[in-house]
Chains A and B, each alone.
Chain A
């Protein structure tokens, strides 16, 4: 299968706008689940407003949240897919820029020192583009995540040591959720990266924070700890928007990698209740959009 950069550009444009407007069904289900069990009156009101907002966005064809985020594109290339890698990256960048200009969208991206905004949602190394490979034949998948800053500003890394053990992991995650309070727009998905090197650990946390609700860590030990932490953080009482209640997180997700004998790295990255993502899948039959 050959992939035309023009089709990638169109998909990259469409994905940014779709992600900002249509919340994935697993997140909608997550809000319904939390609403059913929430015992705090203020918190129930906050959750109801979040649910109303989803219908207003759909009815008015508007963005769910004003934060257009930092655009992230995760590209997964299957076997037997022919492509020009450089052209693919350029096409994603053009699509991202066109979405910003043509919709129009607020460009939330600035130079880190001059703070200059090019009004394109693009800049040095942005959009963030990750490329990975899969065994799926004749398939190219692009996932788009507009990562909002309220949650992204609450990102943490701790290079714990082996002597601190699993207790350090549990304590750090709980303390990060407390420190984040209402700033992350809870209920959140708390993404936890364990192991690897410092950079890999942070990348794993982001992958965990943007994983579909209901999915589990593929490592059985990781799956156990994410289940324990999911229950624990919802006993803290931070609640939706930090105003108190049972619904602090949809879930805690864990992704892990092997690490060094002397290391015990822990990273936390959070995703807000407007946990937006969209995907485009290219096959020989054409392109289809989903979540």
Chain B
């Protein structure tokens, strides 16, 4: 279990050195992406002017305040509260996000499934778990909203955040087939019969 400080964008080599249970703190740039953003990009053929190659995306739709554009708020938005949403709804977008846009790191909560794990292995990617529901803390890791694209989808726009020491985050799925969620699911399934027996359930 090692700790890594990574500046984005990252290389395939940097991502492949990460193993489940390692921790990572990210620096520099982070992109925010959500259901509607990816439906627009992968089902409706919309494109982004952002270069996401080697970058990290977080499953989010932030609370923001519209302000006059300035050096501190170049996109005309001030962050209010930025947190993380459940990743699994966006399972089918992992592969195109990596294949078409070159994303290498996905940050989310609750984990992703088998196809994402396969994509991480084949293409060189990783899933970093953040603690869901701790947005007040996460917001303190965001310096400013640097830019925004596909903003007609607001709040599910494609956000570009400038970050400071974003983490520590837990490597929960790696590029070597490791997934903490798979391990837990397997253990939970193995305990199910015993738990039902303790409740006096006859037919299981």
Contact = CB atoms under 8 A, between A and B. Distances in A.
Interface residues of B, number: 55
Contact of A53 (B60, B82, B134, B191): B134
B23 to A, nearest CB: 10
Contact of B183 (A170, A229, A244): A244
Contact of A232 (B62, B135, B198): B198
Given A42-B170, A62-B81, A66-B61, A185 B132 contact: yes
Interface string B168-202: 00101000000011011101110110111011111
Contact of B63 (A66, A148, A272): A66
B185 A181 contact: yes
B184 A67 contact: no
A170 B61 CA distance: 36
Interface in A63-118: 63-68, 103-108, 115, 117
A232 B196 CA distance: 8
Given A181-B181, A232-B198, A106 B63 contact: yes
A72 B183 CA distance: 37
22 contacts: A49-B137, A50-B131, A62-B136, A64-B136, A65-B134, A66-B60, A66-B81, A103-B80, A106-B64, A115-B36, A150-B109, A167-B200, A181-B110, A228-B199, A229-B199, A235-B194, A236-B191, A241-B109, A241-B131, A242-B111, A242-B181, A272-B132
Interface residues of A, number: 57
Given A65-B134, A66-B81, A238-B188, 19 more contacts: A42-B170, A50-B134, A53-B131, A62-B136, A66-B63, A104-B80, A106-B61, A106-B80, A117-B155, A148-B133, A167-B201, A171-B196, A182-B184, A185-B109, A237-B184, A237-B188, A240-B131, A241-B129, A242-B181
